[in-house]
Structure 1
């Protein structure tokens, strides 16, 4: 009963994540209904075909433009959308190849999930954590969806704007992509490409939202459990329990901490490649879209501003949760030391000392081991973005 309750609560906390996974034809647990299986297979197949083609056409256009007209103002506006597409493909590949790992992580989480009845303080921590997670997921989804929606409707809005003013304007495509044929020669080709770019662009965003919500959701739950563990440790020695009861309680705390460390390691292993590519591309994407907003494309200013906001929040959330895990794990040692450990028996003190030593060893998400994911990393990314921007600005003025 407790395990079923845990799985239900975890599933509810990742409701938005699961919804967007369904939109790209992906699910951590295979559906049992035949109609759902067919729909899932079709959607997955379309996503697998459309997204790589979309990214390939963007990269091709970037290559052709940089070859024919290697000016800063021509090349830079193409980089951030192409980089976003590359990151989406990477995350989609990780989702597919690590599907069983993610499913197992959710099953493992259910075995240590805090289910009722809980102490008042633990229940308050749990409620606040899940509430803040839902709010964060909703805002993140809204920002990303509004950004891609503005990109999708911008060509139509420009057409209406010029049409109302009595001027001629030819509707372009949503994204700047290269195709091996003239898409404007026949109307059906133009309409087909426009619809293709809307769906493929949306799919890239759905992939991004799915993976980011999954990572932040799992990270949030690790942080929640670390905070509850701190409360358990602080309460040690406060009751008139027997030595055997105190011993079992200390052992239970150690076992929970070990499970959380193992859970973190599994999650780190699943996302470490994505984190590396995320960090490598984020500075470049932020720099290029900022340069485009300020100097190049006023017509796409709102869409690019939303893209900038989504990029800053996306890498910011990853670093925020990474930093939180570092801090909360360090507080485990403080909580154990601040408990009434001196009232416990010698054997309880000995194993509590082992827990303190282990908690003093930092745990952190990494980018393939090159750097820890923390707010210091976020600060470094923003600093690099500004440095790249000043370099581009200098090159632009020289041209």
Structure 2
């Protein structure tokens, strides 16, 4: 039998920790009382204010650089860091301001997950419990394998996002130290450096303030990376669980119509209604995930092409090896992040439509006429996929990913054509 009670917690352990580090408590209360909300979110506002003091400093340096005719290469060095700060904030804010919806979504998904038999008072959760309790004892080998594959996929995506974000954080935070140590070993002189180019109203390289400025920038970049990791893993894990439930539902439709006795019309009808109720629950869950992430997905979509373009431009035009390595890691992290978001959104859409395939591959033709009519309505609904969108502007799927890369490549080619000759 699957030992799933602790595995659900394992899947979301790093995600919940990341949210706590940036001040979002996923296990908090649903109270709307001002003091209660402030008590749960005070660290989020402090952390965000901390980060945006650096983001605003970068913006000030950028606009001053435009006025003083700084090189385009220098300006593009700062721009991606500014954009990623806004994207990171959008991802966490989306969950924070929809925290009640997020908690409800996770509660229902947990109750639907096999062997997590805890009854909650919420109507949707209770409906999920009723359906789940009737089927948990009947998990066959195919369903067990599907559950294990889903769990393995969840752990893999968490690990991928964890290590790509850690690599980005380490490279940007510690490369100035590495450069200082290398320079000192060669010249016996200390040349102070900082992770980011930020305009301050004081000399940031005075020995009295330099360590604090360095730590301030380091935590700002760390908070941004943690925010990206938290928002992305919550989205990907939720999509994985929805995909799992749609997959299991397809199997159960197929099993019901293949193994059921067509002469027991009442029994088939009763079981079919239970599966249709579960389908309705899953449709509501996709709508909840859409509500949570639609705005942050839009922010990510409009920024991704520019981020990939500018980061690639820095990688190919900069002669500083440290800068090239830093932005190469940043580029890899950004592309993998956009791909995973689109891949998992596409996975939910495809799995929601595959229920119709499960019905077609069954012995539906042996069923009574009334059952066939009901199945026809189910198949008609499945022709309309459950989509996750970017503010209703585009659907988050692999087609959108190719558009992002195509647009980024067009911008990149244009920049190379316009600015590379002048640099030589």
TM-score tier (shorter): over 0.9
Over aligned residue pairs, what C-alpha RMSD do you find? 2.2
Choose from 22, 25, 31 the match for 1:24: 22
1:298 aligns with 2:321: yes
Deviation for aligned residue 1:238: 2.6
- Note if contact 1:151-1:300 (Cα within 8 Å) is conserved in structure 2: no
User: Aligned residue for 2:269?
Assistant: 247
User: Aligned residue for 1:60?
Assistant: 60
C-alpha separation in 1, matches of 2:113 and 2:270: 19
C-alpha separation in 2, matches of 1:169 and 1:384: 43
Choose from 222, 226, 230 the match for 1:210: 230
Residue correspondence of structure 1 range 113-124 to structure 2 within 5 A: 113-115=113-115, 116-117=136-137, 118-124=139-145
Deviation for aligned residue 1:302: 1.8
C-alpha separation in 1, matches of 2:95 and 2:286: 17
- TM superposition score normalised by structure 2: 0.87
User: Aligned residue for 2:49?
Assistant: 49
- With 61-70 and 335-344 compared, the bigger mean Cα shift is at 61-70
Deviation for aligned residue 1:284: 0.4
C-alpha separation in 1, matches of 2:7 and 2:39: 26
Q: What does the per-residue CA deviation read over 1:134-159, in whole Å, with 9 as the maximum and x for residues that have no partner?
A: 02211210111111111111111111
Counterpart secondary structure, 1:373: coil
Q: How many residues align?
A: 390
Counterpart secondary structure, 2:259: coil
Deviation for aligned residue 1:240: 4.7
Change (3 A) 1:255 1:7: farther
Counterpart secondary structure, 1:188: coil
- Note if contact 2:28-2:40 (Cα within 8 Å) is conserved in structure 1: no
C-alpha separation in 1, matches of 2:324 and 2:39: 37
C-alpha separation in 1, matches of 2:358 and 2:331: 39
User: Aligned residue for 1:136?
Assistant: 157
User: Aligned residue for 2:338?
Assistant: 315
Q: What does the per-residue CA deviation read over 1:227-246, in whole Å, with 9 as the maximum and x for residues that have no partner?
A: 11111111123325432221
Deviation for aligned residue 1:11: 3.1
Change (3 A) 1:266 1:40: closer
- With 66-75 and 360-369 compared, the bigger mean Cα shift is at 66-75
Counterpart secondary structure, 1:309: helix
1:349 aligns with 2:347: no
Q: What does the per-residue CA deviation read over 1:70-89, in whole Å, with 9 as the maximum and x for residues that have no partner?
A: 53212112111111111012
- With 188-197 and 56-65 compared, the bigger mean Cα shift is at 56-65
Residue correspondence of structure 1 range 82-121 to structure 2 within 5 A: 82-115=82-115, 116-117=136-137, 118-121=139-142
Deviation for aligned residue 1:45: 4.6
1:166 aligns with 2:187: yes
- Note if contact 2:180-2:193 (Cα within 8 Å) is conserved in structure 1: no
User: Aligned residue for 2:250?
Assistant: 230
C-alpha separation in 2, matches of 1:164 and 1:40: 47
User: Aligned residue for 2:287?
Assistant: 265
Counterpart secondary structure, 2:191: coil
Unpaired segments ≥5 residues, structure 2:
30-36, 116-135
Unpaired segments ≥5 residues, structure 1:
32-36
- With 245-254 and 309-318 compared, the bigger mean Cα shift is at 245-254
C-alpha separation in 1, matches of 2:348 and 2:40: 35
- TM superposition score normalised by structure 1: 0.92
User: Aligned residue for 1:151?
Assistant: 172
Deviation for aligned residue 1:38: 11
User: Aligned residue for 2:355?
Assistant: 332
Q: What does the per-residue CA deviation read over 1:258-302, in whole Å, with 9 as the maximum and x for residues that have no partner?
A: 111111011111101111110111100011111101112432222
Deviation for aligned residue 1:351: 1.2
C-alpha separation in 2, matches of 1:344 and 1:239: 11
Change (3 A) 1:48 1:79: closer
- Note if contact 2:183-2:191 (Cα within 8 Å) is conserved in structure 1: no
Deviation for aligned residue 1:175: 1.1
C-alpha separation in 1, matches of 2:42 and 2:394: 39
Q: What does the per-residue CA deviation read over 1:148-198, in whole Å, with 9 as the maximum and x for residues that have no partner?
A: 1111111111111111112534221111111121112x3121110100011
